[in-house]
């Protein structure tokens, strides 16, 4: 075969592969590992999710598994914590090309970490929060807390749509355990910002159980998507971590809980938390306190 003929054959094979595996392929052609029966074919407009994906945590490359876990529930909005930019890029790519789920993404990196997130020493990967949304994202703000504790921490805020309504969505990660005073300051700083909005959702890993004193400022403003959970104690709150504590919250203001599920996963030491929400009656948060 001549050089020209060989190049033509290689080019034809590449085109064929793109046609089979690219964006125009059907879900059946894309997905080698099918989703569970009943998994949504497109994002559920009133479903939101929070997940600390844990980094460093698991050996190997868990991003294909993480993408499948997310696709199983197909939320409208997803807040990820302990997220490396490179990992999230691979998750978003998997969601698009394996499951046909297209998400906009905004990053709230608070660290540049070569050891955690790869890259090269002079250009390490970003580490922190990320928000994925099926609707376009606007007005993104990434803010670090004045005191992150033993590691830089912050919150990411965006405007997008949930259940067809514009909403300000926050995603945060509070200081590690045994740093109660730091978390209290972080909660106060966050509450000052989120309290400006009549309709908002706060996703995140707060590293504190519901009755912890440092979360008092959040409970004054919000209800949890776990309708049985409140600040009076852990009795009705579903645990969200491997050590069976409730650390992960979907805080609602201007929305009411319409069902939450906590899914244990092998890809993190935190469970995946997904919830459906609905429009809240005026004063519904205060009536629950």
Residue 225 sits in a domain whose CATH number is 3.60.10.10
User: Is 1 domain-assigned?
Assistant: no
Four-residue CA torsion sign, 156, 159, 161, 167: positive
271 and 262 Cβ atoms separated by less than 8 Å: yes
- Going 222 to 223 to 225 to 229, the CA torsion angle's sign is positive
For position 14, what pLDDT does the model report?
42
Lowest mean pLDDT among 3-17, 120-134, 138-152, 226-240: 3-17
Q: What tens digit of pLDDT does each residue of 258-286 get?
A: 999 999 999 999 999 999 999 886 655 44
Residue 13 pLDDT greater than 80, yes or no: no
**Among candidate residues 200, 286, 188, the one with its CA nearest the CA of residue 251:** 200
Q: Is residue 18, in this structure, part of any structural domain at all?
A: no
Phi, psi of 144 (to 5 degrees): -90, 140
pLDDT of 43-55, one tens digit each? 999 999 999 999 8
Of 26 and 91, more confident? 91
* Residue from 23, 60, 44 nearest 162 by CA: 44
Rounded to two decimals, the pTM is 0.87
Q: Whole domain around residue 40: which residue ranges?
A: 31-288
Report the distance separating Cα 141 and Cα 152, nearest Å: 16
Quick check: is 49 in a domain?
A: yes
More confident residue, 254 or 59: 254
- Examine residue 261 and state whether it is found in any structural domain, yes or no: yes
Contact partners, residue 164, CB within 8 Å, separation at least 6? 45
Q: How many structural domains does the chain have? A: 1
Place of tokens 């590992």: 33
Question: In this structure, is residue 128 part of a structural domain?
Answer: yes
Q: With 90 as the cut, is the pLDDT of residue 115 above it?
A: no
Q: Is 3 a member of any domain?
A: no
Q: What 3-state DSSP class applies to 117?
A: helix
Q: Does residue 47 sit within a domain?
A: yes
Q: Is residue 5 part of a domain?
A: no
pLDDT at 232: 86
């Amino acid at each position: 075969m001549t050089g020209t003929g060989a190049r033509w054959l290689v080019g034809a094979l590449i085109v064929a592969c793109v046609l089979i595996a690219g964006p125009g392929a059907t879900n059946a052609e894309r997905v080698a590992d099918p989703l569970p029966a009943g998994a949504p074919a497109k994002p559920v407009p009133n479903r939101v999710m929070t997940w600390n994906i844990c980094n460093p945590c698991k050996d190997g490359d868990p991003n294909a598994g993480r993408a499948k876990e997310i696709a199983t529930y197909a939320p409208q909005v997803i807040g990820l914590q302990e997220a490396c930019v490179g990992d999230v890029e691979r998750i978003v790519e998997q969601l698009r090309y394996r499951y046909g789920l297209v998400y906009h993404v905004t990053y709230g990196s608070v660290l540049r970490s070569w050891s955690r997130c790869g890259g090269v020493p002079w250009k390490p990967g970003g580490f922190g929060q990320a928000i994925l949304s099926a609707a376009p994202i606007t007005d993104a703000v990434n803010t670090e807390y004045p005191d992150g504790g033993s590691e830089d921490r912050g919150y990411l805020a965006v405007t997008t749509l949930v259940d067809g309504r514009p909403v300000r969505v926050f995603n945060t990660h509070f200081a590690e355990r045994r740093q109660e005073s730091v978390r209290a300051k972080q909660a106060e700083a966050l509450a000052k910002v989120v309290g400006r909005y009549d309709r908002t959702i706060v996703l995140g890993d707060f590293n504190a159980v519901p009755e912890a004193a440092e979360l008092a400022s959040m409970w004054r403003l919000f209800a949890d998507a776990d309708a049985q959970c409140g600040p009076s104690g852990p009795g009705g709150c579903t645990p969200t971590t491997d050590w069976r504590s409730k650390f992960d919250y979907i805080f609602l203001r201007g929305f009411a809980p319409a069902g939450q599920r906590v899914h244990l996963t092998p890809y993190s030491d935190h469970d995946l938390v997904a919830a459906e929400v609905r429009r809240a009656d005026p004063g519904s948060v205060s009536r629950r306190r």
